[in-house]
Amino acid sequence: MKKDEGNGLPLDYLIRAALILPLSPDLPSAISSGYVGIRGSTIACMGAGAGEKWPAREVIEARGMLVMPGLVNTHTHGAMTLFRGLADDLPLKAWLEEHIFPAEARIIDPETVYWGSLLACAEMIRSGTTTCGDGYFCLEGTARAVEEAGLRAVLAHGIIDFPAPGVPDPAENIAAVRRFVERWQGVSDRIRPGVFPHSLYTCSARTLQEAKGLARQHQLPLFIHLAETREEVEQVRQTTGRSPVRFLKDLDLLDSRTVSVHATWVEGEELDLLTETGTAVSHCPESNLKLAAGVTPVPEMLCRGVRVGLGTDGCASNNDLDLLREMRTTALLHKVAGMDPTVMDAPSLVRMAALGGAEVLGWEKEIGSLQTGKQADLIIIDLDRPHLTPLYNPYSHLVYAASGADVDTVFIAGRMVMRRKELLTLDWKEIRNRVREIGKRLANP
Ligand SMILES: [Zn+2]
């Protein structure tokens, strides 16, 4: 085989004749017919034309296809796919306390978390998500699943001040996270540990500070559900005399490694605090809509320079992990909420779902855009479909017409994990059967 001009080795894959959206500030917004070359885990070359000078072990003809960075889901609870459709149409408090917490107490253990997480990995890969921020318990099961699936993830171990799956004694909650962090930090290029104190209504001030201390010690991201509902804000005001954001600021929990999940009920001073401290926001609009939690002021956050990424939240409150559909919901929600059809335009949404998410997770140097030298996390979308015809503007189609079902092929860290809609790393039938068994156990106690 002829040698290339790189380091003398052929590419592993050459994807060519594709419409490419690099999402990189240094590159055009779209390359109408271009190539991307992958060697090892990284993008070795890309550009306009056919890439003839790059010999490759495998050439993927992608005429009529779109290549873009893999999507980044900044907030989910993967194993909660097990609770998809278990309890709908309820307020957050009743939904959590009467349905989700009891269901978790009954069936969540490392093995069920493993199978629920495998299901989440299968769903994410199939719908174009290559990286997620997952916060949950019994997270060893999720780590196993992510390893096997070949997904990339920040795995943030849950912390609450009452008995939790895998942590029956709340006095041990920080120690359990510390063990998980020490087990996973630096072990895998695709898995980074994180810390996930669940919320202000499930964690004491002391627990929150200990969680942040651990995160700072290891330079880890900290995720927290924050100011999700009006009830939460009222409760925190009654007990502390402050807003949730001000309270966290006073506890020294806000900085550039903190990800505030939801941040629905924030305004004025709270927006100033998020901006000044560099705190990121994970916006989960479908979960907010379904639980009637409220509308996060995302356009205002973006104007102030706050990093905002998209999240699905768990499958119990969404009820899927499809980020392409989440983009569309986000655009539509903010247009009607602001009575302004010009806000949250399609290119901004696509950026938010990929590079924006990578920035929220602190992974933007490696992923989120297509650029030589970055990780080869990319998805190929089939445009040869009735609902994607004709094509004037690919960003428009991605936000307003496409769904996760249009994703054809997926690479993560240079490894092909889905080819022509076939999962290559996961045994779908086995996952399906095991999850159905768990579902039967839950439905028939
Ligand atoms: Zn959540």
- Residue-by-residue pLDDT tens, the chain, 445 positions: 344 455 678 999 999 989 999 999 888 999 999 999 999 999 999 999 999 999 999 999 999 999 999 999 999 999 999 999 999 999 888 998 999 989 999 999 999 999 999 999 999 999 999 999 999 999 999 999 999 999 999 999 999 999 999 999 999 999 999 999 999 999 999 999 999 999 999 999 999 999 999 999 999 999 999 999 999 999 999 999 999 999 999 999 999 999 999 999 999 999 999 999 999 999 999 999 999 999 999 999 999 999 999 999 999 999 999 999 999 999 999 999 999 999 999 999 999 999 999 999 999 999 999 999 999 999 999 999 999 999 999 999 999 999 999 999 999 999 999 999 999 999 999 999 999 999 999 888 7
Distance 150 CA to ligand 1 centre (A): 23
What is the reported pTM? 0.97
CB-proximal residues (5 Å) to ion ligand 1: 313
In whole angstroms, what is the distance from residue 193 CA to residue 215 CA? 9
The answer to whether 391 touches 383, Cβ cutoff 8 Å, is yes
Distance 124 CA to ligand 1 centre (A): 16
Distance 33 CA to ligand 1 centre (A): 39
- Closest by Cα among 161, 164, 132 to 149: 132
Distance 76 CA to ligand 1 centre (A): 6
Distance 368 CA to ligand 1 centre (A): 22
Distance 160 CA to ligand 1 centre (A): 13
pLDDT score of 444: 81
Distance 313 CA to ligand 1 centre (A): 5
Residue spans of alpha helices (H) in 316-366: 323-337, 346-351, 357-360
Distance 338 CA to ligand 1 centre (A): 25
Distance 75 CA to ligand 1 centre (A): 6
In the chain the domains, ranked by start, together with CATH numbers, are 11-69+374-423 (2.30.40.10), 71-360 (3.20.20.140)
Distance 314 CA to ligand 1 centre (A): 6
Contacts of 367 (CB under 8 A, 6+ apart): 69, 70, 72, 130, 131, 152, 358, 374, 375, 377
Distance 54 CA to ligand 1 centre (A): 44
Distance 2 CA to ligand 1 centre (A): 51
DSSP string covering 336-403 = HHTT-TTSS-HHHHHHIIIIIHHHHTT-TTTSSS--TTSB--EEEEE--SGGG-S-S-HHHHHHHT--
Distance 281 CA to ligand 1 centre (A): 12
Distance 5 CA to ligand 1 centre (A): 47
Q: Beta strand pairing status for 378-382 and 308-310?
A: unpaired
Distance 226 CA to ligand 1 centre (A): 10
Distance 391 CA to ligand 1 centre (A): 36
Please state the length of the chain.
445
The answer to whether 317 touches 89, Cβ cutoff 8 Å, is no
Query: 55: alpha, beta or left, given left = phi > 0 and alpha = psi -120 to 50?
Result: beta
Could you tell me which residues are beta bridge partners of residue 129?
71
Could you tell me which residues are beta bridge partners of residue 31?
20
The answer to whether 327 touches 353, Cβ cutoff 8 Å, is yes
pLDDT score of 1: 37
Distance 64 CA to ligand 1 centre (A): 37
pLDDT score of 67: 98
Distance 131 CA to ligand 1 centre (A): 16
Distance 77 CA to ligand 1 centre (A): 6
